[in-house]
Chain A
Amino acid sequence: MTIKGKAYIAGIFEHPTRHAPDKSTAQLHAEVARGAIADAGLSKADIDGYFLAGDAPGGAWPMVDYLGLKVRHIDSTDTGGCSYLIHLGHAAEAIAAGKCSIALVTLAGKPRTGPMPPRAAGAEADFEAAYGATTHNAYGMCAMRHMHDYGTTSEQLAWIKVAASHHAQYNPHAFLKDVVTVEDVVNSPMISDPLHRLDCCVVTDGGGALIVTSEEIAKSLKKPLVRLIGHGEAMKGPRGGKDLDLTYSAGVWSGPRAFEEAGVTPQDIKYASIYDSFTITVLMQLEDLGFCRKGEGGKFVADGNLISGVGKLPFNTDGGGLCSNHPVNRGGMTKIIEAVRQLRGEAHPKVQVKNCDLAVAHGTGGLLGVRHAASTCILERV
Protein backbone atom coordinates (compact mmCIF):
# COMPACT_ATOMS: atom_id res chain seq x y z
CA MET A 1 0.00 0.00 0.00
CA THR A 2 1.24 3.47 -0.81
CA ILE A 3 -0.14 6.97 -1.20
CA LYS A 4 2.34 7.61 -4.01
CA GLY A 5 0.58 9.58 -6.70
CA LYS A 6 -2.86 9.13 -5.11
CA ALA A 7 -3.43 12.79 -4.24
CA TYR A 8 -3.01 16.05 -6.12
CA ILE A 9 -2.83 19.57 -4.73
CA ALA A 10 -5.38 21.32 -6.92
CA GLY A 11 -5.81 24.55 -4.98
CA ILE A 12 -3.59 26.79 -2.86
CA PHE A 13 -4.11 30.13 -1.18
CA GLU A 14 -1.99 32.21 1.15
CA HIS A 15 -3.76 35.12 2.81
CA PRO A 16 -2.02 38.37 1.82
CA THR A 17 -2.53 39.88 5.28
CA ARG A 18 0.19 39.89 7.93
CA HIS A 19 -1.83 41.85 10.52
CA ALA A 20 -5.57 41.42 10.82
CA PRO A 21 -6.94 43.12 13.96
CA ASP A 22 -10.20 43.83 12.12
CA LYS A 23 -11.00 40.19 11.32
CA SER A 24 -12.05 37.14 13.36
CA THR A 25 -10.00 33.94 13.31
CA ALA A 26 -12.91 31.93 11.91
CA GLN A 27 -13.32 34.60 9.23
CA LEU A 28 -9.69 34.19 8.20
CA HIS A 29 -10.25 30.41 7.90
CA ALA A 30 -13.25 31.10 5.66
CA GLU A 31 -11.29 33.58 3.54
CA VAL A 32 -8.40 31.19 2.91
CA ALA A 33 -10.86 28.37 2.19
CA ARG A 34 -12.58 30.56 -0.40
CA GLY A 35 -9.23 31.44 -1.91
CA ALA A 36 -8.09 27.83 -2.27
CA ILE A 37 -11.45 26.66 -3.62
CA ALA A 38 -11.37 29.45 -6.22
CA ASP A 39 -7.76 28.64 -7.12
CA ALA A 40 -8.80 25.05 -7.82
CA GLY A 41 -11.83 26.18 -9.84
CA LEU A 42 -14.24 24.36 -7.54
CA SER A 43 -17.10 25.38 -5.28
CA LYS A 44 -17.69 24.85 -1.57
CA ALA A 45 -20.31 22.20 -2.28
CA ASP A 46 -17.58 20.04 -3.84
CA ILE A 47 -15.69 19.73 -0.54
CA ASP A 48 -16.29 16.36 1.13
CA GLY A 49 -13.31 16.20 3.49
CA TYR A 50 -12.03 18.75 5.99
CA PHE A 51 -8.68 18.84 7.76
CA LEU A 52 -8.03 21.29 10.57
CA ALA A 53 -5.68 21.69 13.53
CA GLY A 54 -5.50 23.46 16.87
CA ASP A 55 -5.63 26.94 15.32
CA ALA A 56 -9.23 26.44 14.13
CA PRO A 57 -11.38 27.99 16.88
CA GLY A 58 -13.38 25.37 18.78
CA GLY A 59 -12.23 22.48 16.60
CA ALA A 60 -14.23 20.47 14.09
CA TRP A 61 -17.80 20.99 15.31
CA PRO A 62 -17.94 24.78 15.14
CA MET A 63 -15.65 25.07 12.11
CA VAL A 64 -17.56 22.64 9.89
CA ASP A 65 -20.77 24.39 10.91
CA TYR A 66 -19.37 27.93 10.52
CA LEU A 67 -18.00 27.20 7.06
CA GLY A 68 -21.26 25.49 6.09
CA LEU A 69 -19.50 22.30 5.00
CA LYS A 70 -21.11 18.93 4.46
CA VAL A 71 -18.25 16.44 4.79
CA ARG A 72 -17.86 12.68 4.99
CA HIS A 73 -14.30 12.73 6.29
CA ILE A 74 -12.86 14.80 9.17
CA ASP A 75 -9.32 14.91 10.58
CA SER A 76 -8.31 17.31 13.34
CA THR A 77 -4.79 15.99 13.96
CA ASP A 78 -2.84 18.71 15.74
CA THR A 79 0.94 18.55 15.69
CA GLY A 80 1.57 22.29 15.83
CA GLY A 81 3.27 23.88 12.86
CA CYS A 82 3.63 20.67 10.85
CA SER A 83 -0.07 19.74 11.20
CA TYR A 84 -0.78 20.74 7.60
CA LEU A 85 2.02 18.59 6.18
CA ILE A 86 0.55 15.68 8.13
CA HIS A 87 -2.93 16.64 6.88
CA LEU A 88 -1.67 16.44 3.31
CA GLY A 89 -0.46 12.90 3.92
CA HIS A 90 -3.65 11.93 5.72
CA ALA A 91 -5.76 13.49 2.95
CA ALA A 92 -3.90 11.33 0.44
CA GLU A 93 -4.68 8.26 2.57
CA ALA A 94 -8.36 9.21 2.77
CA ILE A 95 -8.56 9.86 -0.98
CA ALA A 96 -6.74 6.59 -1.76
CA ALA A 97 -9.21 4.75 0.48
CA GLY A 98 -12.23 6.44 -1.07
CA LYS A 99 -13.19 8.21 2.14
CA CYS A 100 -13.29 11.62 0.45
CA SER A 101 -12.48 13.01 -2.99
CA ILE A 102 -11.95 16.75 -2.46
CA ALA A 103 -10.32 17.71 0.82
CA LEU A 104 -9.97 21.19 2.26
CA VAL A 105 -7.13 22.01 4.69
CA THR A 106 -7.16 25.37 6.48
CA LEU A 107 -4.86 27.31 8.80
CA ALA A 108 -5.49 30.80 10.17
CA GLY A 109 -5.04 32.94 13.25
CA LYS A 110 -3.89 36.22 14.74
CA PRO A 111 -0.85 35.99 17.02
CA ARG A 112 0.27 39.47 15.92
CA THR A 113 -3.03 40.96 17.11
CA GLY A 114 -3.02 39.27 20.50
CA PRO A 115 -1.77 36.35 22.61
CA MET A 116 -2.64 32.82 21.55
CA PRO A 117 -4.75 30.62 23.84
CA PRO A 118 -2.66 28.35 26.12
CA ARG A 119 -2.13 24.70 25.27
CA ALA A 120 -3.67 21.98 27.45
CA ALA A 121 -1.22 20.52 29.98
CA GLY A 122 0.29 17.08 29.46
CA ALA A 123 1.57 14.52 31.96
CA GLU A 124 4.88 16.41 32.12
CA ALA A 125 3.36 19.71 33.31
CA ASP A 126 4.38 19.60 37.00
CA PHE A 127 7.92 18.58 35.98
CA GLU A 128 8.50 21.17 33.25
CA ALA A 129 6.02 24.06 33.16
CA ALA A 130 7.83 26.09 35.84
CA TYR A 131 11.03 26.21 33.78
CA GLY A 132 9.60 28.50 31.12
CA ALA A 133 10.32 26.64 27.89
CA THR A 134 9.41 28.95 25.01
CA THR A 135 10.07 28.63 21.32
CA HIS A 136 13.14 30.89 21.62
CA ASN A 137 14.92 29.05 24.40
CA ALA A 138 13.82 25.55 23.37
CA TYR A 139 15.42 26.11 19.95
CA GLY A 140 18.28 27.98 21.59
CA MET A 141 19.10 24.84 23.60
CA CYS A 142 19.32 22.84 20.34
CA ALA A 143 21.58 25.44 18.74
CA MET A 144 23.81 25.59 21.83
CA ARG A 145 24.36 21.82 21.79
CA HIS A 146 24.77 21.69 18.00
CA MET A 147 27.52 24.32 18.26
CA HIS A 148 29.15 22.35 21.09
CA ASP A 149 29.09 18.99 19.28
CA TYR A 150 29.78 20.12 15.71
CA GLY A 151 31.38 23.56 15.86
CA THR A 152 28.44 25.22 14.13
CA THR A 153 28.76 29.02 14.27
CA SER A 154 26.38 31.98 14.54
CA GLU A 155 27.72 33.19 11.18
CA GLN A 156 26.71 29.91 9.52
CA LEU A 157 23.23 30.11 11.03
CA ALA A 158 23.00 33.72 9.84
CA TRP A 159 23.39 32.61 6.22
CA ILE A 160 19.95 30.98 6.47
CA LYS A 161 18.35 34.32 7.31
CA VAL A 162 20.40 36.04 4.62
CA ALA A 163 19.11 33.58 2.00
CA ALA A 164 15.51 34.04 3.15
CA SER A 165 15.87 37.81 2.96
CA HIS A 166 17.23 37.62 -0.59
CA HIS A 167 14.01 35.84 -1.57
CA ALA A 168 11.68 38.05 0.49
CA GLN A 169 12.74 41.20 -1.36
CA TYR A 170 10.69 39.99 -4.34
CA ASN A 171 7.57 39.09 -2.32
CA PRO A 172 5.23 42.13 -2.13
CA HIS A 173 3.42 40.59 0.84
CA ALA A 174 6.57 39.73 2.85
CA PHE A 175 6.56 41.10 6.40
CA LEU A 176 10.31 41.86 6.18
CA LYS A 177 11.46 42.83 2.70
CA ASP A 178 14.96 44.18 3.41
CA VAL A 179 17.97 42.12 2.40
CA VAL A 180 20.17 41.50 5.45
CA THR A 181 23.81 40.47 5.83
CA VAL A 182 25.53 37.96 8.09
CA GLU A 183 26.77 40.94 10.14
CA ASP A 184 23.21 42.26 10.52
CA VAL A 185 22.13 38.91 11.97
CA VAL A 186 24.99 38.32 14.39
CA ASN A 187 24.90 41.96 15.55
CA SER A 188 21.16 41.92 16.26
CA PRO A 189 20.22 41.63 19.96
CA MET A 190 20.65 38.27 21.67
CA ILE A 191 17.20 36.86 22.48
CA SER A 192 18.00 33.45 23.94
CA ASP A 193 21.59 32.29 23.60
CA PRO A 194 22.85 31.61 21.01
CA LEU A 195 19.90 32.86 18.93
CA HIS A 196 19.77 36.52 17.93
CA ARG A 197 16.70 38.49 17.01
CA LEU A 198 17.31 37.91 13.30
CA ASP A 199 17.66 34.15 13.88
CA CYS A 200 13.95 34.21 14.75
CA CYS A 201 10.93 34.07 12.45
CA VAL A 202 8.32 36.80 12.18
CA VAL A 203 5.04 36.80 14.13
CA THR A 204 2.17 37.35 11.70
CA ASP A 205 -1.58 37.10 11.46
CA GLY A 206 -2.99 35.34 8.43
CA GLY A 207 -3.38 31.86 7.10
CA GLY A 208 -3.48 29.54 4.14
CA ALA A 209 -5.45 26.69 2.66
CA LEU A 210 -5.13 23.72 0.32
CA ILE A 211 -7.44 21.68 -1.85
CA VAL A 212 -6.30 18.06 -2.15
CA THR A 213 -8.03 15.77 -4.61
CA SER A 214 -7.84 12.62 -6.70
CA GLU A 215 -5.97 12.23 -9.99
CA GLU A 216 -9.22 12.04 -11.94
CA ILE A 217 -10.62 15.27 -10.52
CA ALA A 218 -7.27 17.11 -10.69
CA LYS A 219 -7.00 16.29 -14.39
CA SER A 220 -10.45 17.78 -14.97
CA LEU A 221 -9.30 21.12 -13.52
CA LYS A 222 -7.18 23.83 -15.12
CA LYS A 223 -4.15 24.12 -12.82
CA PRO A 224 -0.78 22.46 -13.54
CA LEU A 225 -0.73 19.00 -11.97
CA VAL A 226 1.17 18.70 -8.69
CA ARG A 227 0.95 15.46 -6.76
CA LEU A 228 2.18 13.96 -3.50
CA ILE A 229 4.50 11.00 -4.09
CA GLY A 230 5.92 10.44 -0.63
CA HIS A 231 4.96 11.27 2.93
CA GLY A 232 6.40 10.67 6.36
CA GLU A 233 5.54 11.65 9.90
CA ALA A 234 7.22 11.05 13.26
CA MET A 235 7.53 12.34 16.80
CA LYS A 236 10.39 12.83 19.23
CA GLY A 237 10.66 13.83 22.88
CA PRO A 238 12.95 13.38 25.88
CA ARG A 239 11.54 9.83 26.28
CA GLY A 240 12.18 9.49 29.98
CA GLY A 241 15.52 11.27 29.66
CA LYS A 242 17.42 8.36 28.11
CA ASP A 243 20.09 9.17 25.52
CA LEU A 244 19.01 12.79 25.20
CA ASP A 245 20.27 14.28 21.93
CA LEU A 246 18.93 17.66 20.88
CA THR A 247 21.06 17.87 17.74
CA TYR A 248 18.60 15.87 15.64
CA SER A 249 14.84 15.99 15.14
CA ALA A 250 12.05 13.59 14.25
CA GLY A 251 12.89 14.52 10.64
CA VAL A 252 15.49 11.72 10.74
CA TRP A 253 12.52 9.34 10.67
CA SER A 254 9.89 11.23 8.64
CA GLY A 255 12.36 12.18 5.89
CA PRO A 256 13.66 8.73 4.91
CA ARG A 257 10.10 7.32 4.96
CA ALA A 258 8.94 10.01 2.54
CA PHE A 259 11.94 9.69 0.21
CA GLU A 260 11.63 5.90 0.18
CA GLU A 261 7.94 6.04 -0.69
CA ALA A 262 8.64 8.57 -3.44
CA GLY A 263 11.57 6.53 -4.78
CA VAL A 264 13.81 9.61 -4.94
CA THR A 265 16.76 10.93 -2.94
CA PRO A 266 17.56 14.36 -1.48
CA GLN A 267 20.02 14.85 -4.35
CA ASP A 268 17.10 14.71 -6.83
CA ILE A 269 15.26 17.61 -5.15
CA LYS A 270 15.14 20.88 -7.13
CA TYR A 271 13.50 23.06 -4.47
CA ALA A 272 13.07 22.69 -0.70
CA SER A 273 10.51 24.29 1.59
CA ILE A 274 12.01 23.83 5.05
CA TYR A 275 10.25 25.06 8.17
CA ASP A 276 12.19 28.04 9.44
CA SER A 277 10.84 28.96 12.85
CA PHE A 278 14.49 29.74 13.63
CA THR A 279 17.68 29.47 11.62
CA ILE A 280 18.73 26.40 13.64
CA THR A 281 15.47 24.68 12.65
CA VAL A 282 16.49 24.81 8.98
CA LEU A 283 20.05 23.68 9.61
CA MET A 284 18.98 20.64 11.62
CA GLN A 285 16.22 19.71 9.15
CA LEU A 286 18.63 19.84 6.19
CA GLU A 287 20.91 17.42 8.02
CA ASP A 288 18.05 15.19 9.16
CA LEU A 289 16.57 14.96 5.66
CA GLY A 290 19.94 13.94 4.24
CA PHE A 291 20.88 17.03 2.23
CA CYS A 292 24.19 16.88 4.06
CA ARG A 293 25.72 14.79 6.82
CA LYS A 294 24.88 15.37 10.48
CA GLY A 295 27.03 18.19 11.79
CA GLU A 296 27.82 19.58 8.33
CA GLY A 297 24.73 21.79 8.07
CA GLY A 298 26.74 24.89 8.90
CA LYS A 299 29.04 24.40 5.95
CA PHE A 300 26.10 23.46 3.72
CA VAL A 301 24.09 26.64 4.30
CA ALA A 302 27.04 29.06 4.17
CA ASP A 303 27.95 31.34 1.27
CA GLY A 304 24.46 31.53 -0.19
CA ASN A 305 23.93 27.84 -0.92
CA LEU A 306 20.19 28.24 -0.16
CA ILE A 307 19.70 31.30 -2.43
CA SER A 308 17.76 30.65 -5.63
CA GLY A 309 19.94 31.14 -8.68
CA VAL A 310 23.09 31.22 -6.53
CA GLY A 311 23.32 28.04 -4.47
CA LYS A 312 22.71 24.34 -4.97
CA LEU A 313 19.51 24.07 -2.93
CA PRO A 314 17.05 26.96 -3.31
CA PHE A 315 14.85 27.07 -0.20
CA ASN A 316 11.82 29.07 0.98
CA THR A 317 11.70 31.30 -2.09
CA ASP A 318 8.73 33.27 -0.67
CA GLY A 319 10.99 34.52 2.13
CA GLY A 320 9.72 31.82 4.47
CA GLY A 321 8.81 32.27 8.09
CA LEU A 322 12.06 34.11 8.73
CA CYS A 323 11.00 37.03 6.52
CA SER A 324 7.63 36.66 4.81
CA ASN A 325 4.94 34.98 6.87
CA HIS A 326 4.49 32.67 9.83
CA PRO A 327 0.72 32.65 10.32
CA VAL A 328 -0.40 31.48 13.77
CA ASN A 329 3.21 30.57 14.62
CA ARG A 330 2.67 27.51 12.42
CA GLY A 331 4.80 27.31 9.31
CA GLY A 332 3.76 24.04 7.65
CA MET A 333 1.03 25.45 5.44
CA THR A 334 3.11 28.13 3.76
CA LYS A 335 5.84 25.54 3.16
CA ILE A 336 3.45 23.48 1.03
CA ILE A 337 2.07 26.54 -0.76
CA GLU A 338 5.46 27.85 -1.92
CA ALA A 339 6.51 24.35 -3.01
CA VAL A 340 3.36 24.11 -5.15
CA ARG A 341 4.03 27.58 -6.60
CA GLN A 342 7.53 26.42 -7.59
CA LEU A 343 6.22 23.21 -9.17
CA ARG A 344 3.52 25.11 -11.06
CA GLY A 345 6.05 27.72 -12.20
CA GLU A 346 4.10 30.40 -10.31
CA ALA A 347 6.89 31.59 -8.01
CA HIS A 348 8.25 35.10 -8.51
CA PRO A 349 10.37 35.10 -11.72
CA LYS A 350 13.40 36.30 -9.73
CA VAL A 351 13.29 33.17 -7.53
CA GLN A 352 11.56 30.61 -9.76
CA VAL A 353 13.68 27.47 -10.06
CA LYS A 354 14.11 26.41 -13.69
CA ASN A 355 12.37 23.18 -14.64
CA CYS A 356 11.26 22.61 -11.07
CA ASP A 357 9.62 19.19 -11.18
CA LEU A 358 10.50 17.76 -7.76
CA ALA A 359 10.25 19.48 -4.40
CA VAL A 360 10.18 18.70 -0.70
CA ALA A 361 8.04 20.45 1.88
CA HIS A 362 9.09 19.64 5.42
CA GLY A 363 8.35 20.94 8.87
CA THR A 364 8.34 20.35 12.57
CA GLY A 365 5.71 21.22 15.15
CA GLY A 366 5.94 21.74 18.89
CA LEU A 367 9.30 22.55 20.48
CA LEU A 368 12.40 21.11 18.84
CA GLY A 369 14.24 21.15 22.16
CA VAL A 370 11.42 19.49 24.10
CA ARG A 371 8.85 17.35 22.26
CA HIS A 372 7.87 17.78 18.65
CA ALA A 373 6.49 16.17 15.52
CA ALA A 374 7.94 16.25 12.01
CA SER A 375 6.42 15.64 8.62
CA THR A 376 7.93 15.39 5.16
CA CYS A 377 6.07 15.66 1.85
CA ILE A 378 7.68 14.91 -1.52
CA LEU A 379 5.83 16.72 -4.31
CA GLU A 380 6.12 16.19 -8.05
CA ARG A 381 4.93 18.10 -11.11
CA VAL A 382 3.32 15.65 -13.49
Chain B
Amino acid sequence: MSEAKKYPTPVTNPETKPFWDAAAQGKFMIKRCKTCGDAHYFPRSICPFCFSDKTEWEESSGEGTIYTFSLMRKSATGPYAIGYVTLKEGPSLMTNFVDCDLERLAIGQKVKVVFKPTDGAPLPFFTVV
Protein backbone atom coordinates (compact mmCIF):
# COMPACT_ATOMS: atom_id res chain seq x y z
CA MET B 1 0.00 0.00 0.00
CA SER B 2 0.95 3.64 -0.29
CA GLU B 3 2.42 3.77 3.24
CA ALA B 4 5.08 1.27 2.28
CA LYS B 5 5.81 2.95 -1.03
CA LYS B 6 9.31 4.27 -1.64
CA TYR B 7 8.93 7.80 -2.99
CA PRO B 8 11.48 9.45 -5.27
CA THR B 9 13.82 11.98 -3.73
CA PRO B 10 13.22 15.53 -5.01
CA VAL B 11 16.17 16.63 -7.13
CA THR B 12 15.57 20.33 -6.25
CA ASN B 13 17.20 23.33 -7.89
CA PRO B 14 18.07 26.89 -6.85
CA GLU B 15 14.60 28.13 -7.81
CA THR B 16 12.69 25.57 -5.74
CA LYS B 17 15.13 24.89 -2.85
CA PRO B 18 13.22 27.14 -0.39
CA PHE B 19 10.11 24.98 -0.92
CA TRP B 20 11.95 21.80 -0.01
CA ASP B 21 13.80 23.41 2.91
CA ALA B 22 10.41 24.49 4.32
CA ALA B 23 8.94 21.04 3.65
CA ALA B 24 11.68 19.60 5.88
CA GLN B 25 10.26 21.88 8.61
CA GLY B 26 6.74 20.58 7.94
CA LYS B 27 5.66 23.75 6.12
CA PHE B 28 3.79 23.66 2.80
CA MET B 29 4.75 26.68 0.72
CA ILE B 30 3.17 28.31 -2.29
CA LYS B 31 4.21 31.39 -4.25
CA ARG B 32 2.20 34.60 -4.49
CA CYS B 33 2.75 37.43 -6.94
CA LYS B 34 2.94 40.89 -5.37
CA THR B 35 2.06 42.51 -8.69
CA CYS B 36 -1.16 40.68 -9.65
CA GLY B 37 -1.91 39.25 -6.21
CA ASP B 38 -2.52 35.68 -7.41
CA ALA B 39 -1.00 32.60 -5.84
CA HIS B 40 0.36 29.77 -7.96
CA TYR B 41 1.72 26.23 -7.66
CA PHE B 42 4.19 24.64 -8.38
CA PRO B 43 6.43 27.56 -7.41
CA ARG B 44 8.13 29.71 -10.03
CA SER B 45 10.38 32.76 -9.62
CA ILE B 46 8.41 34.61 -12.32
CA CYS B 47 4.61 34.73 -12.07
CA PRO B 48 3.01 32.46 -14.72
CA PHE B 49 0.01 34.82 -14.90
CA CYS B 50 1.43 38.36 -15.22
CA PHE B 51 5.13 37.50 -15.68
CA SER B 52 6.21 39.79 -12.86
CA ASP B 53 9.37 38.79 -10.99
CA LYS B 54 7.87 40.08 -7.70
CA THR B 55 6.86 36.68 -6.37
CA GLU B 56 7.21 35.73 -2.73
CA TRP B 57 6.93 32.58 -0.66
CA GLU B 58 3.84 32.14 1.48
CA GLU B 59 2.97 29.32 3.84
CA SER B 60 -0.22 27.60 2.70
CA SER B 61 -2.84 26.44 5.17
CA GLY B 62 -2.40 23.05 3.53
CA GLU B 63 -6.19 22.78 3.44
CA GLY B 64 -8.31 22.31 0.37
CA THR B 65 -10.94 20.27 -1.42
CA ILE B 66 -10.76 17.43 -3.94
CA TYR B 67 -11.27 18.79 -7.49
CA THR B 68 -11.07 15.34 -9.10
CA PHE B 69 -9.42 11.97 -8.57
CA SER B 70 -8.94 8.55 -10.10
CA LEU B 71 -8.22 5.34 -8.23
CA MET B 72 -5.58 3.51 -10.26
CA ARG B 73 -6.23 -0.19 -9.78
CA LYS B 74 -3.70 -1.58 -12.24
CA SER B 75 -0.36 -0.89 -10.61
CA ALA B 76 2.60 -3.08 -9.72
CA THR B 77 2.90 -1.33 -6.35
CA GLY B 78 -0.79 -1.58 -5.45
CA PRO B 79 -3.75 0.73 -5.98
CA TYR B 80 -3.19 4.45 -5.54
CA ALA B 81 -5.38 7.52 -5.86
CA ILE B 82 -4.16 10.44 -7.94
CA GLY B 83 -6.09 13.68 -8.00
CA TYR B 84 -6.13 17.43 -7.91
CA VAL B 85 -6.70 19.48 -4.77
CA THR B 86 -7.84 23.09 -4.86
CA LEU B 87 -6.14 24.88 -1.96
CA LYS B 88 -7.93 27.43 0.22
CA GLU B 89 -5.48 29.98 -1.16
CA GLY B 90 -6.66 29.31 -4.73
CA PRO B 91 -4.22 27.20 -6.72
CA SER B 92 -5.01 23.60 -7.67
CA LEU B 93 -2.29 20.96 -7.65
CA MET B 94 -1.72 17.32 -8.47
CA THR B 95 -1.25 14.92 -5.58
CA ASN B 96 -1.97 11.45 -4.22
CA PHE B 97 -4.47 10.80 -1.47
CA VAL B 98 -3.03 8.73 1.40
CA ASP B 99 -3.85 7.47 4.90
CA CYS B 100 -7.60 7.29 4.14
CA ASP B 101 -10.17 4.96 2.59
CA LEU B 102 -9.45 5.31 -1.14
CA GLU B 103 -12.76 3.65 -2.05
CA ARG B 104 -14.68 6.49 -0.36
CA LEU B 105 -13.00 9.47 -2.02
CA ALA B 106 -15.37 12.04 -3.52
CA ILE B 107 -15.14 15.31 -5.38
CA GLY B 108 -15.56 18.21 -2.95
CA GLN B 109 -14.23 16.35 0.10
CA LYS B 110 -12.08 18.40 2.49
CA VAL B 111 -8.43 17.36 2.62
CA LYS B 112 -5.21 18.53 4.25
CA VAL B 113 -1.53 18.17 3.48
CA VAL B 114 0.65 15.46 5.01
CA PHE B 115 4.34 14.94 4.33
CA LYS B 116 5.90 11.58 3.52
CA PRO B 117 9.63 10.93 3.89
CA THR B 118 12.05 10.31 1.04
CA ASP B 119 15.84 9.96 1.15
CA GLY B 120 15.92 13.76 0.86
CA ALA B 121 13.23 16.40 1.42
CA PRO B 122 9.76 15.06 2.34
CA LEU B 123 7.01 15.06 -0.31
CA PRO B 124 3.56 16.63 0.17
CA PHE B 125 0.47 14.39 -0.05
CA PHE B 126 -3.13 14.93 1.00
CA THR B 127 -5.47 13.04 3.28
CA VAL B 128 -9.19 13.33 3.94
CA VAL B 129 -9.99 15.52 6.98
The chain A residue sitting closest to B102, CB to CB, is A193
Residues of B within 8 A of A144 (CB): 68-70, 107
How far is B94's CA from A246's CA once the two chains are assembled, in angstroms? 12
Q: Report the nearest B residue to A370, measured CB to CB.
A: B94
Docked Cα-Cα span, A32 to B95, in Å, equals 41
Is the pair B69, A141 in contact by a Cβ cutoff of 8 Å? yes
Given A127-B42, A132-B72, A141-B69, decide whether A240 and B107 contact each other with a Cβ distance below 8 A. no
Number of interface residues of B (CB under 8 A): 39
Are the C-beta atoms of B92 and A241 separated by less than 8 Å? yes
CB proximity to A under 8 Å, residues B106-128: 107, 123
B104 within 8 A of A: no
Is B73 a contact of A191 with CB atoms below 8 Å? yes
Known: A132-B80, A241-B40. A141 touches B70 (CB 8 A): yes
Size category, A interface: 35 or more
Cα–Cα, bound, A91→B84 (Å): 38
Residues in B neighbouring A129, C-beta threshold 8 A: 8
A120 interfacial by beta-carbon distance below 8 Å: no
User: Which of B48, B69, B83 has a CB less than 8 Å from the CB of A239?
Assistant: B48
Within 8 A of A (CB), among B4-40: 7-8, 10-12, 16, 20, 38, 40
**Would you give the 0/1 interface string for B81-93, flagging 1 where the beta carbon is closer than 8 Å to chain A?**
0111011001111
Are A192 and B42 touching (Cβ within 8 A)? no
Task: Determine if A244 and B67 form an interchain contact, defined as CB atoms under 8 angstroms apart.
Answer: yes
Interface residues of B (CB under 8 A from A): 7-8, 10-12, 16, 20, 38, 40-42, 44, 47-49, 67-75, 80, 82-84, 86-87, 90-96, 107, 123
Residues of A within 8 A of B (CB): 123-134, 136-138, 140-145, 148, 189-195, 238-242, 244, 246, 369-370
